[in-house]
Structure 1
Amino acid sequence: MSLLSTLIFLPLVAGLLIILMPSAWQSRYKYVALGVIAIQVILSAYIYLNFNAGTFTGIASQNKFQLVERLPWINISLGTLGKLQIDYFLGIDGLSMPFLVLTSIVMLVAVLASWGIKTNLKGYFALFLLLDTAVMGVFASLDFFLFYIFYELMLLPLYFLIGMWGGVRREYAAIKFFLYTLFGSVFMLLVIIGLYFSVTDPQTGNHTFNMLAMMDPANYTQGSIFSALAKQELFGISARLLGFIVLFIAFAIKVPIVPLHTWLPDAHVEAPTPVSIILAGILLKIGGYGILRVCMSIFPDAALQSAWWLGLIGVVSIIYGGLNALAQTDLKRLIAYSSVSHMGFVLLGIASVTAEGISGAMMQMISHGFLSSMLFFLVGVLYDRVHDRQIPNFRGLALIMPKYTVFIMIAFFASLGLPGFSAFIAEAFSLIGAFTSESINGLLPRWMAVCGSVGILLSASYLLWTLQRMFFGETRLMGGEAWKSALTDVNGREVLALSTLALFALVLGIMPSLAFDKMNFSVLELIRLVNQK
């Protein structure tokens, strides 16, 4: 089995092994999951170190992608309609490779956070590893049908992980998450079918789900089916623009952007800590990745046409998410709304269609993956000890949990964009891209960058205010002495997980070229593809 397939299906094999293991060995399930994901981290590190940063040509060429695996999977004759062709088609480039590394590290931290799970361990770890397989598959798929299978496969384990191991309102949160995501996915399938009948495989001449063929502008020249469809209108909107909007909504639900964000606070608040880490650290990035890989690459003309609106939505998400975070009393809900604000920078950077903006958006997704995972892990540490997250119920925690306070300060200052950490580089590049867009391509007005910068001020406001209220001053706890004795400082396992995340955020802040050098070629190729439309 080749490297990408091993990376994707190794967790699935481990999940099946856990199902077959006797219940008497349930204390060993977490070590099986930890061992498998540690191997995954090693494999993703090997991929990163051996990734060729950019000596390829052609955005729609298979030669641009590395570790390519392509095997015939489903071939069914359709008579006069030709043949249904679906391939097992994997490959990575500078847009997808960083997310494989991010996923493996965040999943490792999520496993370490799973030590607190005490009920139905067999089901929990089997679903956890199935989710790992689905996420890795999304980032590596180059066949749209295969992409859609992995994309939908994520729904099942997440629904049960939230609905069975979550908080008091877990069923409501799980159903809300499921319905929101399914709503976007159903319409996405219709667009995928339309694209299938619009493009042909250059090798076989059959219609195909090959995403690289869908990116090739030659498939939409005069004479192709989609060329004819693109001239038709539905509700006064061209077919290509409508396809872009449908796919954008499907991925925007995952990002999430305002007003499609309402599932996120509920899901985060009710989800167990490891699932919150995965939701914030990985799942939100699938939305941003989908916009880059699918929406912009397949519908570059519609992306240019919609850039102003995407930028506006990004700005609204930045400010709205920040203001909501400022009003929260639940620490987990505050961090959930901060994610809405921070992911707004991603959309603003993408909408600029500049090298700085898209590179900043990519860096923001990677940076947010590490920092949001760190923040939710820290909230989980507090909740595991006293089962409370209300900010007014804590005061002076620095006196009784000094190590914990150090980590929370690192996470807070890094998240608000302190120079030296990854979020500073990410937000700066996103804003630079938005600011220069007006002079480079005329897509975004400069006032959007100015308004977006307000989000940094809001981040400083709600994070520093929370730090001051919870950690400084004389120790006063709602639970009194019982809480004081229960609030022990972070242990070795927690220090390991938190140190790992803090180290990555610091290293990327000091040496951002570690990420930029790997993704730069693919970013420039994407911009070239969009601008040639």
Structure 2
Amino acid sequence: MSDSVMQYLLLALVVLPLVGAASALLPAPPGLKGRSPEQAVLRHGVTVTGAVLALTAALAAGFDHDDPARMQATTDVSWIPALGIRLHLGVDGVSLPLLLLTALLTFLCALYSYFRVPSGPSPKAFVALLLLLECGTLASFAVLDLVLFFLAFETVLVPMYFLIARWGGENRERAAWRFILYTVLGSVVMLLGLLLVGIKGGTFDMVALATDNGAGLSHSVQVIAVLAIGLGLAVKAPMWPLHTWLPDAHTAAPTVGSVLLAGVLLKMGTYGFVRIVLPVAPDGAHTFAPYLAAFAVTGIVYGSLVCLSLARRGQGGDLKRLIAYSSVGHMGFVLLGIATMTPTGVNGALFANVAHGLITGLLFFLVGGVKDRLGTSDLDTLAGATGAALYGRAPRLGGLLAFGAVASLGLPGLAGFWGEMLAILGSYRPADGLSRPAFLVFMALAAFGTLLTAAYLLAVVRRVCMGGDGGIPAEFHHGPRLADVHGHEFAAWTPLVALTVLAGLWPAALLGLTDPAVQQLLGGN
């Protein structure tokens, strides 16, 4: 496929959701309303996100897989000449998988919402916000200018705030305010770091800065820039102890909000570390790498211990909140891989990014399905109310939940294994100049975290799927059957299951894309 066609494809997949968001607010044309205007706008959401997914698939098909380190489908035109800001877009082996993940998850969320739109205000606003969220996320992974990256990074905050505040569940307003407060404060600090890099480096172009590999920035400038940019990215990642907004946001968000928050938005933070921090300010990244690794493994162990506590009988744990805390641990592996500053570790981080999006997105879909059927995601209530358990009352739903759990704990042969394994392996021999004894300790703690992860996820499977909750009254053990997986749920969940298996059995498909690009980003050439 020619470069000009690829260029137009990338432009179209970034602009189309924005146009779709604006048109979703307009009245439906005559003859397209279907049974109701609500059905028309929901169908519009499915159509636009489906078209974006098709464009992204075409971009992936035309991508030169023999040279994934080269920036392809590039657009580079002056936007604000007085400030040296350019409309610069492109895609390489690092960003392409995240573009595909975003397009897929947004389409599946739109499809799911067509059959089960969250209760709340106008569906028009819901679809418009969903498409605006997709536009901002795709742009974050496609732009190659620091100022544009910041603008795209901020674009997603407003739609996610309203999705939580207007379509969320209990305590949604408080959760939405915490989400916006934490992320905006982090973004303000990040902007200062981006401006510092752009001014001192003489350009806001991310490709030029990465090629320069920090040569135009003094050590002190790099340290200050990494501290500022890293704090903003760490809030979104989320890194312990800046994670406290996440459990409330996930617990209160509607199902599709939780899927996109975990599956896509968290990746914007870790992507920023790989795309900006490591290649643009390598000396500053080297200075903070041990601290980043220490916070990462603390998050792994902390998140797992909290999940273990939530999984215990009598603790009043919420299954949705448990999965949210599990994200703190899983994203800790991503941050640990980045902190090693080695190709092995960074490739593991990028693989774990995609795997987490697939698996945790599936888990939030499944918990939403359980909550729709039983009216709660409280673990004690689920363990009691399901009695003979999901295996006995909704076997397909129970089997999918168990599959998601074992994939999340990193079972070999599924997607969750490779990223965590490579992040741990990268810690065994970190980049030159980093303390190997310290990283061996981090490696041991991360490995211990995998055991804790297995413990709490198997406890969830035992209690919710198998009904192994001692002390449950006998009348609970033989309840009526629940509605098993519906057709629209099967359509939304099957691609995530298939890709989780495919990535686990054929990791070279993803690593073959990321490794050459990572080698170039770390080498600065």
2:353 equivalent to 1:365: yes
Contact 2:87 2:148 in 1 (8 A): yes
330-339 vs 87-96, which moves further = 87-96
Matches within 5 A, 1:316-335: 316-328=298-310, 329-335=317-323
Rate the CA distance shift 1:184–1:491 in 2: closer, same or farther, 3 A: same
- For 1:346, the equivalent position in structure 2 comes to 334
Q: Which amino acid aligns with 1:301?
A: D
In the TM superposition, residue 360 of structure 1 has moved relative to its aligned partner by 0.7
2:164 equivalent to 1:165: no
In the TM superposition, residue 54 of structure 1 has moved relative to its aligned partner by 5.0
- For 1:265, the equivalent position in structure 2 comes to 247
2:271 pairs with 284, 289, 307, which one?
A: 289
1:39 pairs with 51, 54, 58, which one?
A: 51
Q: Which amino acid aligns with 1:99?
A: L
In the TM superposition, residue 56 of structure 1 has moved relative to its aligned partner by 7.8
Q: Which amino acid aligns with 1:458?
A: L
CA distance in structure 2 between the partners assigned to 1:47 and 1:477 by the alignment: 53
SS at match of 1:90: strand
- For 2:459, the equivalent position in structure 1 comes to 465
2:486 equivalent to 1:491: yes
Contact 1:112 1:493 in 2 (8 A): yes
CA distance in structure 2 between the partners assigned to 1:439 and 1:73 by the alignment: 40
Note the residue ranges of structure 1 that are not aligned, 5 or more in a row.
58-63, 76-82, 201-207, 231-237
Contact 1:332 1:389 in 2 (8 A): yes
Contact 1:331 1:379 in 2 (8 A): yes
In the TM superposition, residue 7 of structure 1 has moved relative to its aligned partner by 0.5
Contact 1:199 1:213 in 2 (8 A): no
- For 2:65, the equivalent position in structure 1 comes to 53
Matches within 5 A, 1:61-72: 64-72=70-78
SS at match of 1:348: helix
In the TM superposition, residue 103 of structure 1 has moved relative to its aligned partner by 0.5
- For 1:434, the equivalent position in structure 2 comes to 427
CA distance in structure 1 between the partners assigned to 2:290 and 2:201 by the alignment: 29
Partner deviation per Cα, 1:69-121 (whole Å, 9 max, x = no partner): 1122122xxxxxxx322211100111111100110111122113322324310
Matches within 5 A, 1:365-514: 365-394=353-382, 395=387, 396-437=389-430, 442=435, 445-473=439-467, 487-514=482-509
In the TM superposition, residue 485 of structure 1 has moved relative to its aligned partner by 5.3
CA distance in structure 1 between the partners assigned to 2:195 and 2:341 by the alignment: 28
Partner deviation per Cα, 1:471-515 (whole Å, 9 max, x = no partner): 22489999x89x955831110111121111010010000001110
Contact 1:319 1:341 in 2 (8 A): yes
CA distance in structure 2 between the partners assigned to 1:438 and 1:92 by the alignment: 26
Contact 2:262 2:327 in 1 (8 A): yes
Q: Which amino acid aligns with 1:296?
A: L
- For 1:123, the equivalent position in structure 2 comes to 125
183-192 vs 153-162, which moves further = 183-192
**What is the RMSD computed on CA atoms of the aligned residues?**
2.4
Rate the CA distance shift 1:428–1:220 in 2: closer, same or farther, 3 A: closer
CA distance in structure 1 between the partners assigned to 2:327 and 2:301 by the alignment: 12
Contact 1:113 1:273 in 2 (8 A): no
SS at match of 1:197: helix
- For 1:13, the equivalent position in structure 2 comes to 19
In the TM superposition, residue 240 of structure 1 has moved relative to its aligned partner by 2.0
Contact 2:300 2:446 in 1 (8 A): yes
CA distance in structure 2 between the partners assigned to 1:326 and 1:113 by the alignment: 30
- For 1:60, the equivalent position in structure 2 comes to none
Partner deviation per Cα, 1:301-323 (whole Å, 9 max, x = no partner): 11112211111111111100100
SS at match of 1:116: coil
Contact 2:307 2:456 in 1 (8 A): yes
Partner deviation per Cα, 1:4-52 (whole Å, 9 max, x = no partner): 1111111111122211125951112121111111122222222223222
Q: Which amino acid aligns with 1:69?
A: T
209-218 vs 3-12, which moves further = 209-218
SS at match of 2:79: strand
Identity %: 35
- For 2:313, the equivalent position in structure 1 comes to none
SS at match of 1:487: coil
SS at match of 2:429: helix
In the TM superposition, residue 463 of structure 1 has moved relative to its aligned partner by 0.7
Rate the CA distance shift 1:499–1:250 in 2: closer, same or farther, 3 A: same
2:205 pairs with 210, 230, 241, which one?
A: 210
Contact 1:53 1:521 in 2 (8 A): no
CA distance in structure 1 between the partners assigned to 2:111 and 2:472 by the alignment: 28
In the TM superposition, residue 397 of structure 1 has moved relative to its aligned partner by 2.1
- For 2:314, the equivalent position in structure 1 comes to none
Rate the CA distance shift 1:100–1:14 in 2: closer, same or farther, 3 A: same
Contact 2:348 2:418 in 1 (8 A): yes
- For 1:89, the equivalent position in structure 2 comes to 88
Q: Which amino acid aligns with 1:117?
A: P
2:295 pairs with 282, 296, 313, which one?
A: 313
In the TM superposition, residue 470 of structure 1 has moved relative to its aligned partner by 1.4
294-303 vs 363-372, which moves further = 294-303
Contact 2:111 2:492 in 1 (8 A): yes
Q: Which amino acid aligns with 1:168?
A: E
Rate the CA distance shift 1:219–1:291 in 2: closer, same or farther, 3 A: closer
Question: Normalising to structure 1: TM-score of the pair?
Answer: 0.88
CA distance in structure 1 between the partners assigned to 2:308 and 2:51 by the alignment: 40
Q: Which amino acid aligns with 1:362?
A: L
Question: Normalising to structure 2: TM-score of the pair?
Answer: 0.90
Partner deviation per Cα, 1:267-308 (whole Å, 9 max, x = no partner): 000000000000000011111101111111211111112211
Contact 1:134 1:154 in 2 (8 A): yes
Q: Which amino acid aligns with 2:335?
A: L
Q: Which amino acid aligns with 1:286?
A: M
CA distance in structure 1 between the partners assigned to 2:21 and 2:435 by the alignment: 50
SS at match of 1:258: coil
Note the residue ranges of structure 2 that are not aligned, 5 or more in a row.
1-6, 311-316
Partner deviation per Cα, 1:237-285 (whole Å, 9 max, x = no partner): x332111011111001011011000000000000000000000000111
210-219 vs 330-339, which moves further = 210-219
208-217 vs 102-111, which moves further = 208-217
CA distance in structure 1 between the partners assigned to 2:242 and 2:136 by the alignment: 23
- For 1:74, the equivalent position in structure 2 comes to 80
- For 1:256, the equivalent position in structure 2 comes to 238
- For 2:260, the equivalent position in structure 1 comes to 278
Matches within 5 A, 1:167-182: 167-182=169-184
Q: Which amino acid aligns with 2:401?
A: I
Q: Which amino acid aligns with 1:432?
A: L
17-26 vs 148-157, which moves further = 17-26
CA distance in structure 1 between the partners assigned to 2:226 and 2:467 by the alignment: 52
